[in-house]
Chains A and B, each alone.
Chain A
């Protein structure tokens, strides 16, 4: 099944952001990382587990009337490091953005270990997580060295 066919499952948006090539089944996590939940006022379309030539299966999210910022992209890098982001203006792709998961994720999420020094919210240094490996994703806190579980980490988005 073609990518074009899968995109037709939801209508084109006039203005906003399309996040494509999200790993299959990760779309809800992506929304959580972006802070887009049920209380969000912007229309959001979401398709999950659609066939993809490149990935086998993938998820797609379309957020209307909202353009993702770099900080939001940084958050996305943890759950969908190879996603493609397109900013849509007047039904056309105005910008294509690429997400790169670097060797460190700074001030995006807080370490999940309850006895880490960074749990004192008054401490001013940035929250830093080291990316040890991308596939499988293996992340450790820069300070306490504890491995981070992604499901727990999502609850600690700053």
Chain B
């Protein structure tokens, strides 16, 4: 059964349908309504490297819909340290579960797992590769704020070189005709092969070092964390990272409906003063990880989300 390895596994129409399902599932995600669509189904959570939000939101998504979750647990205590291949691990979990969420340090691991399994695999990040479930929740958040995904002006800022989140998101936004502004220090620029790939697919891409000069016309500003270890020395880090920090004082001339997103965890690239502005969207974005994954699991398992969730669902 097909899973979600990259965003190329979904058409634009399928993306919109899943986002529509997610919108209807919001009261269930919030715990206001009980709708056990996934009762009797089991999710296998296979996180071969640390994760907080992704792992917990998959687990919450499954449980909110009445399903169960089994976890690989700490890799240090699993058969992986004994040298078990990914293929063998997947064979085992495939037999225990109906669907698998996986994060793995090696690129291509999710596709490899999908080729080894009968149940759908949801790629929760494979090395520097893809993170499509994050992209789904990002798209959900953007559409929730703007009512559309079409033709928006989106600034992606910070570490664009190593961030798989921004790679997947850029591809998806290109498919919806968004204008992309990549604001980053030179050493953390979006990889050139991705920029040329996006341009080949018709993207309007602007690359700049000037974050603050880019935000006033933006509909979305997507911040990412700049990691100290990417720089040769601390002085260079301080000099570069300082230009990629947002403070409430910077937001005086931005569009009123502009949203600021961040995959979290943040360090100091978004100052706490931004949290209380109307533009701060990152905590809502993190919550949306649950509802987007609820809709995605239903879609991959062929479970129909009722058109009228309110009347199908029950009170607690």
Listed in ascending order, the chain A residues whose CB lies under 8 Å from chain B are: 111, 113, 115-120, 122-125, 141-147
A–B pairs, 27, beta carbons within 8 Å: A111-B108, A115-B105, A115-B106, A115-B107, A116-B108, A117-B104, A118-B108, A120-B85, A120-B86, A124-B85, A124-B87, A125-B112, A125-B116, A141-B108, A142-B108, A142-B111, A143-B107, A143-B109, A143-B112, A144-B108, A144-B111, A144-B126, A144-B129, A145-B107, A145-B111, A145-B129, A147-B193
**Bound CA span A144–B85, Å:** 17
Given contacts A116-B108, A145-B6, contact A122 B83 (CB under 8 A): yes
Q: Does B67 contact A (CB under 8 A)?
A: no
Q: Which of B111, B115, B127 contacts A115 (CB 8 A)?
A: B127
Contacts A144-B127, A145-B6 given; indicate if A117 touches B116 (C-beta within 8 A).
no
Contacts of B6 in A (CB 8 A): 145
**Complex contact A123–B85 (CB within 8 A):** yes
Neighbouring A residues of B129 by C-beta, 8 Å: 144-145
Contact B107–A144 (Cβ < 8 Å): yes
Instruction: List B252-294 residues whose CB lies under 8 Å from chain A.
Output: none
B128 touches A117 (CB 8 A): no
| A-side contacts of B107, CB under 8 Å | 113, 115-117, 143-146
Residue positions of B touching A, CB distance < 8 A: 6, 83, 85-87, 104-109, 111-112, 115-116, 126-130, 193
Roughly how many angstroms separate A70 CA and B263 CA in the complex, as a whole number? 49
Contact check: which of A116, A125, A145 meets B106 at CB < 8 Å?
A: A116
Chain A residues closer than 8 Å to B126, beta-carbon distance: 117, 144
Closest 6 CB pairs of A and B: A143-B108, A144-B108, A144-B107, A117-B106, A117-B108, A117-B109
- Contacts A144-B108, A145-B108 given: A125-B127 contact, CB under 8 Å? no
In angstroms, Cα B86 to Cα A122, docked, is: 9
Residue of A nearest to B193 (CB): A147
Q: Which residues of B contact A120 (CB under 8 A)?
A: 85-86, 106
> Are A122 and B128 in contact (CB-based, < 8 A)?
no
A78 shortest CB reach to chain B, Å: 20
Instruction: For A125, give the chain B residue with the smallest CB separation.
Output: B115
Given that A144-B107, A146-B107 are known contacts, is A118 also in contact with B112, CB under 8 Å in the complex? yes
Cβ-closest chain B residue relative to A128: B115
CA distance A111 to B107 in the complex (A): 11
Q: Separation in Å of the B266 CB from the closest CB of chain A?
A: 26
Contact B128 A115 (CB under 8 A): yes
Give CA–CA (A53, B187) in the complex, Å.
Answer: 49
Bound-state CA distance A122–B108 (Å) is: 15
What residue in chain A is nearest B113 (Cβ atoms)? Answer: A117
CB distance from A152 to the nearest CB of B (A): 15
| Given A118-B112, A119-B106, A145-B108: 18 more A-B contacts, CB < 8 Å | A115-B106, A115-B107, A117-B104, A117-B126, A118-B108, A120-B86, A120-B106, A122-B85, A123-B87, A123-B112, A125-B87, A125-B115, A125-B116, A142-B111, A143-B111, A144-B108, A144-B111, A144-B129
